[in-house]
Amino acid sequence: MSRLVVVSNRIAIPDGSKASAGGLAVGILDALQDTGGLWFGWNGEISEFSGEDEDEELTQLEHNGITYASLPLNQNDYDQYYLQFSNTVIWPAFHYRLDLVEYQREAWDGYCRVNTLLAQRLKPLLQPDDILWIHDYHLLPFAAELRKLGINNRIGFFLHIPFPTPEIFNALPPHQELLEMMSDYDLLGFQTESDRVAFLDSLSQLTQLQNKGEKKHLAFGNTFMTEVYPIGIEPDTIKEMAEGPLPPKMAAMKRDLGDLQNIIACERLDYSKGLPERFLAYEALLANFPQHRGKVRYSQIAPTSRGDVQAYQDIRHQLETEAGRINGKYGTLGWTPLYYLNQHFDRRLLMKIFRLTNVGLITPLRDGMNLVAKEYVAAQDPDNPGVLVLSRFAGAAQELTSALIVNPYDRDDVAAALDRALTMPRTERISRYNDMMAVLRKQDISHWRESFLKDLNTLPVRSEDHGTVNKVATFPKLA
């Protein structure tokens, strides 16, 4: 029976706390527990080691049948691999913000160096029949580094963020190197069909791309498969979190709201989320539909992320300024129209907040999927659900078609959708909710996980010369 090995930039090391796991952790922990497996990656710590004598830095922990293997990075590697290349080159470019890309050759070298380091440290832990599942944009070169070390196991990759069109991607100086490296994976998974097509279009502009049938391709001498696997949630778990008695703080919040309708939005502070545009759309609601003044509140939860990156500092300042301006313009002594909370909320509490609100406002400028949109729907009261207003540029819009789909760049469009959501009849709200819940249950996190691993397991194993042999490993069906 093949063992599953998961590799991600950060790993969720169990520490006994009640902190809720993020989307990636929820998606793979069950798989690791079912098969027995290894989760490998950076532990989030900065070390003083030079990179030459790092053997003693690798730590391993066994918990519930899973081995967690992690290591720290030194300051230079962290700066170049994580802050500079991953988050000031790949992240903005893949979210269609070339204006924010700050490419430095040293950062690219550091990005490749850390991928090499991680591959070297993982190799001794691998078994011949292991199946490897690599996650996200920090590790685009990882399979190529493993292949250099003679690792011929099946290696799959899933990109959690969008993949940009060739006009964007090919503007990156190392775009050809990245595409060649990505072709060393056996399976490349994307959130949406448009992301998959964008990747193939970028390839076809640089090299001869041969179609081998069943979404299998040949490029740069490698045969690989591409497929779409929209990541899901556990809707019934979210529903359970949202139900039940309210804690004292939540009960006080409900009393404070009174008859006010509440619009909620929650995401980490990031320029890809369209927060300034959303603030202006809410202002347009108050301007274009004055009947809502004094009767609605917009609560924006946006905890700081990557606070040491200048672009994130700038957007925080911008939001603070806009929130103050809107409240100053429309607020009264008895009514504050916009609550902006730059803080983290426990996930279980957040689901209860979602259930109390009338509208979920999720309008990113570009997003791979956006699980918050799915969680908002799953948290609703089936007999009196709120309405989801969702950006067409979120991957979730491909599935949640019964949401009110908007263009986040058009503030009047978003304002009109908010007015419609706030006045929507209960029967229509229930119908839309039921449609979306059916999708969430069909394409839940288990379906995402099982579909990817099933496809990866059916692919042939590479031979020593990077060809393939028709050997199919035994891999259990995940419950």
159-205 pLDDT tens trace: 999 999 999 999 999 999 999 999 999 999 999 999 999 999 999 99
Is the pLDDT assigned to residue 469 strictly greater than 90?
Answer: no
Start-end of CATH 3.40.50.2000 domains in the chain: 4-231+447-465, 235-442
Average pLDDT, stretch 132-144?
Answer: 97
Residue 476 has pLDDT above 60, yes or no: no
Residue of 229, 217, 134, 153 whose CA lies nearest to 452: 229
**What gap in Å lies between CA 63 and CA 84, rounded to an integer?**
33
Architecture of domain 4-231+447-465: 3-Layer(aba) Sandwich (3.40)
Q: Quick one: average pLDDT of 303-325?
A: 83
Residue in 77, 184, 186, 367 annotated catalytic: 367
Query: Could you identify the residue written with the tokens 């509490």?
Result: 349
Distances (CA, A) of 49 to 14, 82, 107, 108, 380: 25, 17, 19, 21, 49
Rounded to two decimals, what is the model's pTM? Answer: 0.92
Tell me the pLDDT of the chain averaged across its residues. 90
Has residue 322 got a pLDDT over 60?
Answer: yes
Q: What is the CA radius of gyration of the chain?
A: 23
Told to judge if 270 belongs to the known catalytic residues of this protein, a careful annotator would answer: no
Can you tell me whether residue 53 is helix, strand or coil?
Answer: coil
Residue 281: closest CA among 378, 376, 421, 399: 421
Calculate the CA 106 to chain-centre distance.
Answer: 27
pLDDT of residue 305: 74
Nearest alpha carbon to residue 264 among 346, 372, 419, 401: 372
Catalytic residue among 95, 135, 138, 160: 160
Instruction: Quickly state the pLDDT bin for 50 (edges 50, 70, 90).
Output: low
Residue type, 398: Q
Question: Read out DSSP for 101-146?
Answer: ----HHHHHHHHHHHHHHHHHHGGG--TT-EEEEESGGGTTHHHHH
* Tokens at 122, concatenated: 């993982």
Residue 157: phi and psi, rounded to 5, are -135, 135
The DSSP bridge partners found for residue 461 are 469
Which pLDDT score, from 0 to 100, does residue 311 have?
74
Amino acid at 33: Q
CATH class of 235-442: alpha beta
Residue in 403, 341, 270, 316 with CA at minimum distance from that of residue 349: 341
Tell me, yes or no, if 160 is annotated catalytic. Answer: yes
The phi-psi region of residue 357 (left if phi > 0; otherwise alpha if psi is between -120 and 50; otherwise beta) is beta
Distance (Å, whole) CA 1 – CA 457: 11
